[in-house]
Amino acid sequence: MIPYTYSLHKIDNTADFGFNPDHYSRFKFGDNFIAKSFGKDLADGFIKYYLADNLITDQIVVISSPYSFIPTATFAMKNYFVSQLNRWLVENGGLQVQETKVHRTVTYKEDYGELSAEERLSLIGNDSFHIDKDFLVGKTLLFLDDIRITGSHERMILKMAKEYGLSNEMHMLYFAELVNKNIHPNVENFLNYHQIKSIFDLEEIIDGGDFCFNTRIVKYILNTASESFSIFLQRRNGNFINELYDLALGNGYHTIEAYAKNLHQIKDYIKNNNYKLI
């Protein structure tokens, strides 16, 4: 089972990534406008370099990167990838795509982007991925992720596929891929935080009118030093605070000691301001 792999951007140096690092950073922290651009560009690239000459007539299932309760940034990109791909498929005699989810069971506070290849594999190796095998029978699978650095996530997907006995045609699609092995994997962290240096840098994205929560921004907010967190919280409205709290609980972050203090502060803030927990 050897999947077809496609990446829109190939990273072979750190002087020119082929895309704007500030845009990538904003995307990772919930800028939905940039997610739209990335998703459409990835779909257009996949169409041009594969589908135009290899039309898939089977049912396609698009699968975003694994998550538990809070989606990853890739999920937002996936939405626009699907929209763009559907338009082309329908115009060219294909079937509109279906979607499903890879469930993951482990949540952790470590910042994956700063880890080495060995550390990544060690961390993610403790996780387990699950998918609805019966739903996938006879279908072509497109697994989406925003960036491929060491391939650890891809290996976990392939491990899952083997365990489930999947014989489907599989494609691994990435917005970007690190192809120069001399570049340390923590280049991912360089990209993730290229524009986000503190919690207050999030405010422009959140207030920009097209913001969506994801796992990274929730973890980043909860992991912020208490004093800065308090100031940030005072500037947010009730809807934002309630959603942040509900997402944190849904992903089990209340069980992680490092997040306990800020979560307790959110709970008190909601209670003291008479916001309803819906």
* pLDDT band per the 50, 70, 90 thresholds, residue 102: very high
| In a shared domain, residues 263 and 221 | yes
pLDDT digits (tens, 9 = 90+) for 11-58: 999 999 999 999 999 999 999 999 999 999 999 999 999 999 999 999
The upper half-sphere exposure of residue 154, i.e. CA atoms within 13 Å in the direction of its Cβ, equals 22
Tell me how far apart the alpha carbons of residues 36 and 76 are, in angstroms, rounded to a whole number.
Answer: 7
What's the rounded mean pLDDT across residues 112-125?
59
Whether 278 is covered by a domain: the verdict is no
Answer with the one of 192, 223, 245 that is the final residue of a domain: 192
Return the pLDDT at 277.
46
| In a shared domain, residues 209 and 186 | no
Whether 161 is covered by a domain: the verdict is yes
Nearest in space to 145 (alpha carbons), one of 2, 3, 15, 1:
3
pLDDT digits (tens, 9 = 90+) for 138-150: 999 999 999 999 9
- What's the pTM value of the predicted model, to 2 decimals? 0.91
Give the CA radius of gyration of the chain.
Answer: 19
| In a shared domain, residues 106 and 226 | no
Whether 69 is covered by a domain: the verdict is yes
Return the pLDDT at 278.
47
| In a shared domain, residues 84 and 144 | yes
What's the rounded mean pLDDT across residues 102-109?
76
Whether 11 is covered by a domain: the verdict is yes
DSSP per residue over 194-234, as a string? SS--SGGGHHHHHTTS-B---HHHHHHHHTS-HHHHHHHHH
What's the rounded mean pLDDT across residues 60-75?
97
Please state the domain count of the chain.
Answer: 2
State the CATH number of the domain containing residue 11: 3.40.50
φ/ψ bin of 168: left (φ > 0), alpha (ψ from -120 to 50), beta (otherwise): beta
Mean pLDDT, the chain, rounded, equals 93
| In a shared domain, residues 108 and 236 | no
State residue 211 phi and psi, 5-degree precision. Answer: -110, 145
